[in-house]
Amino acid sequence: MYREIAVFTGNSHRALAEAVCKHLEIPLGNVQVFQFSNEEVFVKYEENIRERDVFIIQPVVSPVNTRLMELLIMIDAAKRASAGRITAVVPYYAYGRSDKKDQPRVPVTARLVANFVEVAGADRVLSMDMHAGQIQGFFNIPLDELTAFPLISDYFSSLHLPAPCVVAPDVGRAKLARDLAERIGADIAIVDKKRDGNKEAAEAMTLIGEAAGKDCLIVDDEVLTGGTVASAVKLLRARGANSVRVACVHPVLAPKAFQVLDTPDLDEIVFTDSLPLVHGEFKSVKSTVLSIAPLIGDAIHRIHTGGSVGALFR
Ligand code: R5P
């Protein structure tokens, strides 16, 4: 067994790391992570981590490449400080959308990032609702993938909506929508979405299923520009939905999302605190944040003690 848990964070999301430590009833570890004037990242652990079970909490948020380098350099520094084991806790795994070679002469960057994390010296990865299941297989080290959808479905069950209908904003999320609909006893509908090449523009073409008179809940892993869900919201309203809500795990939320989603057509947007909101806030639409800190904290505790992580979801 390793010595005691030590949790550290870079500059991605200190509030989440502090909330995880509060749940674990341990102090957040002391580490310096900053950039020199030439933009190079520097890391120094300010406490002894020799043989300790080190967890580095660092979702890869904007500025993505800087936060990724912070994560890699923190792993390297922990390795060289003789940490017993290093777990990269990356609730949001950036570059996850680049998970396959679906056009000629393009990279599979999600795989490249996995290689970086391993080469830096991580022994394990703890992530949440990655964009695609196959990303797990890009790692040759153990990876635990948590899901926040039970949290989201419990929240929606608590609203006691009269005619709930879970909506997949594209066919890729159909299974997720079905699972959630079964969990909360709702109907299901699927949007047929079209994207124009690599442009960040999405169009909801048609709806498979009924929206008239329904309380619709659009579910997605992440929202970036908001184009996918804004287009689905319009379509559902046009088809006579009674209410429309959006839920996502990762609020990547580029500046544009705060414009297109702050609309009276939307009753509520729900997301987790897997990422901080770095590009703005919602002014008129109701936004609800569900914290993943207890889930991450429980998973860390189970990894440290050799308990089952899967049992968290049974
Ligand atoms: C796509 O497959 C994802 O699940 C999301 O729908 C997508 O990343 C959202 O992007 P945007 O908000 O820019 O439409």
Contact 274, 249 (CB under 8 A): yes
Domain count along the chain? 2
Report the pLDDT value the prediction gives residue 193, as an integer from 0 to 100: 84
Judge whether residue 2 has pLDDT over 80.
no
Domain match, 89 and 193 both = no
Domain match, 90 and 170 both = no
What would the pLDDT profile of 253-279 be if each residue is shown by its tens digit? 999 999 999 999 999 999 999 999 999
Averaged pLDDT for residues 190-199: 84
Domain match, 10 and 143 both = yes
**What pTM, to 2 d.p., does this model score?**
0.96
Judge whether residue 75 has pLDDT over 70.
yes
Domain match, 118 and 172 both = no
Domain match, 67 and 164 both = no
Closest ligand 1 atom, residue 172 Cα: 2
The pick from 62, 196, 222, 225 for probing ligand 1's pocket by mutation, whose C-beta has the most ligand atoms within 8 angstroms, reads 222
Q: How far is the CA of 221 from the centre of ligand 1 (A)?
A: 8
89: amino acid identity, one letter = V
Q: How far is the CA of 223 from the centre of ligand 1 (A)?
A: 5
Domain match, 135 and 191 both = no
Ligand 1 and 221: CB distance under 6 A: yes
Domain match, 74 and 184 both = no
Domain match, 78 and 19 both = yes
Instruction: Map tokens 């936004």 to a residue.
Output: 287
Report the pLDDT value the prediction gives residue 251, as an integer from 0 to 100: 98
Confidence of residue 297 (pLDDT cuts 50, 70, 90): very high
Domain match, 159 and 262 both = yes
Report the pLDDT value the prediction gives residue 197, as an integer from 0 to 100: 76
**DSSP assignment string, the chain:** --EEEEEEE-SS-HHHHHHHHHHHTSPPPPEEEEE-TTS-EEEEESS--BTEEEEEE----SSHHHHHHHHHHHHHHHHHTTBSEEEEEESS-TTTT--S--STT---HHHHHHHHHHHHT-SEEEEES-S-GGGGGG-SS-EEEE--HHHHHHHHHHTT-SSEEEEESSGGGHHHHHHHHHHHT-EEEEEEEEE-TTSS-EEEEEEES--TT-EEEEEEEEESSSHHHHHHHHHHHHTT-SEEEEEEEEE---HHHHHHS-STT--EEEEESSS---S---SSSEEEEE--HHHHHHHHHHHHHT--SGGGG-
Confidence of residue 196 (pLDDT cuts 50, 70, 90): confident
Ligand 1 and 227: CB distance under 6 A: yes
Judge whether residue 1 has pLDDT over 80.
no
Contact 68, 60 (CB under 8 A): yes
Domain match, 275 and 285 both = yes
Ligand 1 and 220: CB distance under 6 A: yes
Report the pLDDT value the prediction gives residue 247, as an integer from 0 to 100: 98
Closest ligand 1 atom, residue 173 Cα: 4
Report the pLDDT value the prediction gives residue 314, as an integer from 0 to 100: 80
What would the pLDDT profile of 278-296 be if each residue is shown by its tens digit? 999 999 999 999 999 999 9
The pick from 102, 190, 224, 266 for probing ligand 1's pocket by mutation, whose C-beta has the most ligand atoms within 8 angstroms, reads 224
Neighbouring C-beta atoms of residue 21, cutoff 10 Å: 22
Confidence of residue 177 (pLDDT cuts 50, 70, 90): very high
Question: Cα 128 vs. chain centroid, distance in angstroms?
Answer: 6
Domain match, 229 and 286 both = yes
Averaged pLDDT for residues 38-61: 98
Judge whether residue 130 has pLDDT over 90.
yes
Q: How far is the CA of 307 from the centre of ligand 1 (A)?
A: 34
Closest ligand 1 atom, residue 226 Cα: 12
CATH number of the domain bearing residue 73: 3.40.50.2020
Judge whether residue 142 has pLDDT over 70.
yes
Q: How far is the CA of 2 from the centre of ligand 1 (A)?
A: 40
Domain match, 116 and 168 both = no
Q: How far is the CA of 241 from the centre of ligand 1 (A)?
A: 22
Averaged pLDDT for residues 54-71: 98
Q: Could you give the percent of the chain with pLDDT greater than 70?
A: 100
Domain, as residue range, for 279 = 149-290
Ligand 1 and 226: CB distance under 6 A: yes
Q: Which residues are catalytic?
A: 193
